Chains A and B, each alone.
Chain A
């Protein structure tokens, strides 16, 4: 292995929410931008997402949530990550998330939230700047 390792990302859908258009578009846009992307598929539990993230040794986790369960699911994932690993994995997300919920999510450790209308370039640019390959 030589040169800088590609940034690896996990794009995930947690809970019962089946709206996967956004998650798939973002996953594909990130892949087209040169990242290694793993998409979890639907109906994952927070435990499953964290297990996959560790197994796949990712640098960032992007979660798409449109069901209104963001205030439950993000903190749970962050807690599980903190318990199981060094907290270097960058967690970000997007979906239908009201502005007034964002400050609390950020305080809990979610690094960025993209709301409806964000472009794929916005997400790609943000990931390029904010998700470095972790030291191994």
Chain B
């Protein structure tokens, strides 16, 4: 009905079928109708919510997870994780791993401000990120369980298994390494971190993201953050290579004013 209205408007404004065709294509890809409303949630042929389409998700810059806590409560730090957060904040988060071009890992990837796309296959969903060190993550959708024991090797993005709960993609992840920060603000986590993320697309133009962080190594109880991600219709990913010319690394000094990355001392007697 709305679609017909748009078509009529276009016809009324501009004579000719070519304009209608172009307008319909733009409408199907996203954008807004004459009343400023988003098109409805797109779906695959089997009825599953389609997280893709002709466009990109313009991930927002979420620098401070404390401002995104659902319900507005305090982050339930353990004493050490609070002290480390304060230390990192105190030195302007200069040791942020992402500043060294390491992957954001975990929920922070959805708040690192470069666009992303979801590639939705039957047995997996792959999320590709333009930023964060040119990374992607894979969500297994084939019903498997997490690897157990030493088979679970800690990594930046961990091991993710997902399923659809009606129209919500629920992703359970364990096996994170400790080399990433939870957010730009300098909050840390341990290998015990377990996250449950929920992705919904209530309309064409919005991806609602929610992540529960459960890390008994760093926080006294689970806490949840959430934000909305806008759709960029007809836009495409571009290339971004963080590692190319990272002058920040060359200039980084430690707490004693010495270069953070040192060259290995050379043996003056060694002949090459």
Q: Do A and B bind each other?
A: no
Q: Footprint of A on B, CB under 8 Å?
A: none
